[in-house]
Structure 1
Amino acid sequence: MRAARSLHSTPLLRSHTTSPRVSIATARIPCLQRHAWPAQRRTFLRNQQSSGRAVENINVNCMRNESYEYYVRRRSFMLCGAIASSIAAFYTAYLLYVAVRNPKKLDSGLPDKLDPFTTDAGSKRKTVVHDADGREIVPTGNSVVPVFPRLLDLAIGAEEGQEKVNGVEYTLVGLGVRTVTFIGIQVYMVGYYIATQDIAAIQARLVKEINPIATTLVSTEKDTLRQALLHPEQGEKLWNSILREVRPRSVFRIVPVRDTDFHHLRDGFVRAITARSQGDNAQFGDEAFGVAMRDFKSLFNRGKVPKTREMLLFRDAAGRLTVTYDDGKTGMGSIGRVEDERVSRLLWLNYLAGKQVASEPARTSIVDGIMEFVERPIGTVAAMVI
């Protein structure tokens, strides 16, 4: 009897041991509910249901809410990812834009070992290439004005005699971009040229400034000169003496990279000249300087200046300022002259020296070009170029 009872009780034990497994599985899903129905007796239409069997009910509303919350979370996550990706893409594009629009240095960054006039292995040289016509050009790093000519052959600034027939050759010293406002809107590319025959005089003046008995500067002396040229006060004093005493013939070549007008250019020039003339009434407070400034302003009473139109500012051996412009119709022509050398000197200092300059990249590039002059023996640069 006991063995029989044990045999009959075995299925009941199995049914009780399996029921907790079902309850654990269903407990993990909140929308599935397990109900234990009361025992029912068998009828002729329905079988008897065991008392330990569980029945699961599906809560459709609960599942719909969970599905909605899942897709809301998924959408929010994807939206955050899209926003982050857009920010990263725009920032990368901005960095590329700055890198492309920023003017590059004239130096190639490689030592010129083949040059016999190089005094040190780390000397840098301009990146000079040739165009389809064989002319030497220098890349600017700007997409609107991509190149500047290395040499300019101009009749303005020539003296009487054979030189006036052949014109004057001007050599590019440095270039850069002029920007305005705090976001750096580019206005024009500017390059500084010096008459090739006057380079020797500048060489001698700069070399004697650092070492009175030298004909060229070594590496440490070049660093001293560079620091002096970049110093706000020393650089302005040095360039002021060069412009007043040496008076090399030179040209600033200005090419707009966006459409502008003469009045906008005039306002920038006048502000720079006025700022540098203030505080020195003994030198710039006379009536003649005021008349010269009125003459200078009258040169720019004109209209629009489309981009890529060339403007040249000449300073001759007497310090007189001559402005020429290419209107695209009649070609390059003079639009006027200012006799007082103080106007051109102050305008030149606006690019060459001081606490604030019109274009810091141009000033740095010009200083790099000056370093090429002083590392060679005096007079050899002009002889090599000519």
Structure 2
Amino acid sequence: MLCRATMRPRGPPMATRSFSSAASTLLRTPRTARTARTAPTKPSAPPAGTRTFLRPAQNDSNILDSLDVSRIARDRYNYERRRRIFLYCGALSGFVATCYTAWKIKVLLDNPIQADAAGVAASSIDQARKVVVHDKDGREIVPTGNSTVPEFPRTLVLGDLDGSTAKDAAPVSSQTIVIPNGAVEDEYTLVGFGTRTVSFLSIQVYVVGFYIATADIAALQNRLVKRVNPIATALVPSEKDDLRASLLDPAEGEALWDALLADGVPARSLFRIVPVRDTDFPHLRDGFVRAIQAKAPRILEQEAKEGASATPDFGESVKEFRRAFNRGKAPKKQELLMVRGADGSLRVVFDDGRSTGRQVLGSVADERVSRALWLNYLGGRKVASEATRKSIVDGVIEFVERPIGTVASQVV
């Protein structure tokens, strides 16, 4: 009996200890933890194969089976290729559109649209009249529209150049001859002017004006008026338009001016050239020589048909012309004159702006040289300046609309 009492466990029963342990744990755990542990969980997403309200059932196991990496790469390559093609086409179209627009603007600027008007003013000749203004000294000038050379004198007074020659092989200091102040002076009237440009960028080189001796205008009037109407003393608007079309025609205009110059009409004339940028005489000389050589075949061919034999060698005459330009710089805004005398001889005159005034640089007696040089501005398929030719033609038409023998009182 004593042994049985000794073997009995002394602690509380097992159920009692488990309940006490759970109670103590519950008392030690925070309230928030118990709340989170007992919070309801969200319902899980439906299985992959389950149909939903807005989308059909999908089987995720087939997505990877249908994935084709090669096809995806080809599709991407084709997309990038089409994208590049569209970009290249857009860039090319923009470039073409820009060039076409620039060309159309240039055409409009070169050929402005003139509004029609009633009466005599409807003629395109009258619309091209130039404005004559007076400077602060009271002299008549014509605006050129050029910022470097803003105006040309309406009339030009030039001393008598007869007897003034230059030594061909002499240096510049002794080659130039100053025109005497007491020489006989002749007045020249401006017929037309324009700006000489080169290259497709229209780089301006010089402003050129064509002058005719005032006393010789009547002879030019008579030849042109009688050519259109033998019994008239002046031309009416329709006849003026016909003459203007003939002078502007490349072939007919060149033939007309060639015949007039060969006959010495007008007897005295000159071209006044003023550079708009600093240049040199060799550069100007090369341009003039190319112009002479371009017109020489027509003149020599016509001379061969007429059987002229007592004429000097044309090549030597061109060399004489080249020697007249054996100088250095030709500053801008300085005057260069090429004067054609009554006998067809050519004299090159330059004014460097110093106190010495105009100086004769050289002369060429062969009239074919001056005629070829004149045709470079007056007629032909390709002239030195188309604007200059049109302005000269407008000036000539202004002369023929007045009675023969009267001096034009206003520049066209």
TM-score, structure 2 length as denominator?
0.63
Structure 1: how far apart are the matches of 2:135 and 2:152?
11
Q: Which residue number in structure 2 is paired with residue 147 of structure 1? A: 151
One-letter code aligned to 1:355: R
Q: Does 1:337 align with 2:363?
A: yes
Deviations 1:152-200 (A, max 9, x none): 11113689xxxx8561111111111112223322211110011111111
Paired amino acid for 1:321: L
Aligned to 1:294: 319
Any gaps of 5 or more consecutive residues in structure 1?
1-40, 54-82, 114-118
Q: Which of the residues 282, 291, 315 maps onto 1:272? A: 291
Q: Distance in 1 between matches of 2:159 and 2:397?
A: 28
1:241 aligns with one of 247, 259, 281: 259
> Structure 1 stretch 207-216 or stretch 119-128: which is displaced more?
119-128
Structure with higher Rg: it is 2
Q: Return the offset for 1:44.
A: 3.8
What is the SS of the residue equivalent to 1:380? coil
CA shift digits 1:35-79 (9 cap, x unpaired):
xxxxxx9824565566599xxxxxxxxxxxxxxxxxxxxxxxxxx
Say which SS state the counterpart of residue 376 (structure 1) adopts: coil
- Indicate the residue corresponding to 2:134 in structure 1: 130
Change (3 A) 1:263 1:331: same
Q: How far 1:98 moved relative to its partner?
A: 7.4
Aligned to 2:34: 43
Match of 2:195 in 1: 177
Aligned partner (choices 341, 346, 351) of residue 326 of structure 1? 351
**Which of 347, 355, 367 is the matching residue for 2:373?**
347
Q: Which amino acid aligns with 2:338?
A: L
Q: Secondary structure, in 3 states, of the residue corresponding to 1:126?
A: coil
Q: What percentage of aligned pairs have identical amino acids?
A: 55
Distance in 2 (CA, whole Å) between partners of 1:306 and 1:104 is 32
Match of 1:365 in 2: 391
User: The residue matched to 2:189 in structure 1 has which SS?
Assistant: strand
C-alpha distance in 1, partners of 2:278/2:309? 33
Secondary structure of the residue aligned to 1:336 is strand
Q: Is the 8 A contact 1:277 1:284 kept in 2?
A: no
Q: Secondary structure at the match of 1:137?
A: strand
For residues 206-264 of structure 1, what are the alpha-carbon distances to aligned partners after superposition, in whole Å with 9 as ceiling and x for unaligned?
10111111111111111111111111221112112221222421110001112221111
Q: Per the alignment, in what secondary structure is the counterpart of residue 407 of structure 2?
A: helix
Within 5 Å, give how 1:176-195 maps onto structure 2: 176-195=194-213
Separation in 1, partners of 2:335, 2:106: 25
Distance in 2 (alpha carbons) for counterparts of 1:340 and 1:144: 34
Change beyond 3 A, Cα 1:192–1:110: farther
- C-alpha distance in 2, partners of 1:165/1:326? 17
The answer on whether the counterparts of 1:236 and 1:353 sit within 8 Å (CA) in structure 2 is yes
The answer to whether structure 1 residue 226 and structure 2 residue 217 are counterparts is no
CA distance in structure 1 between the aligned counterparts of 2:385 and 2:410, rounded to whole angstroms: 29
**d(CA) in 2 for partners of 1:284, 1:265:** 32
Alignment partners' CA distance in 2, 1:186 and 1:171: 24
Contact residue 268 and residue 340 of structure 2 kept, 8 A: yes
1:258 is aligned, of 277, 288, 293, to: 277
1:248-285: CA deviation from partner (whole Å, max 9, x where unpaired): 21110001112221111111111111121126262699
Correspondences of 1:302-317 after superposition (within 5 Å): 302-317=327-342
Residue 43 of structure 1 aligns to a residue whose secondary structure is helix
Q: Distance in 1 between matches of 2:185 and 2:216?
A: 14
Higher relative contact order, chain-length normalized (CA < 8 Å, sep 6+)? 2
Structure 2: distance between partners of 1:384 and 1:359? 23
8 Å Cα contact 1:260-1:304 kept in structure 2: yes
Q: Would you say the 8 A contact 1:197–1:382 is kept in 2?
A: no
> Aligned-pair distance for 1:126?
1.4
TM-superposition CA deviations, 1:285-311 (whole Å, max 9, x none) = 964333222211100111121221210
**TM-score calculated relative to the size of structure 1:** 0.67
What residue identity is the alignment partner of 1:135? R
Alpha-carbon displacement from aligned partner over 1:358-379 (angstroms, at most 9, x marks no partner): 1111001101111111111112
CA distance in 2, matches of 1:227, 1:269: 27
Question: Tell me, what secondary structure is at the counterpart of 1:381?
Answer: coil
Distance 2:282 2:185 in 1: 31
Number of equivalent positions: 301
What SS does the aligned partner of 1:363 have?
helix
Amino acid at match of 2:347: T
What CA RMSD, in Å, does the superposition of the two structures yield over aligned residues? Answer: 3.9
Please tell me whether the aligned partners of residues 157 and 317 of structure 1 are also in contact (alpha carbons under 8 angstroms). no
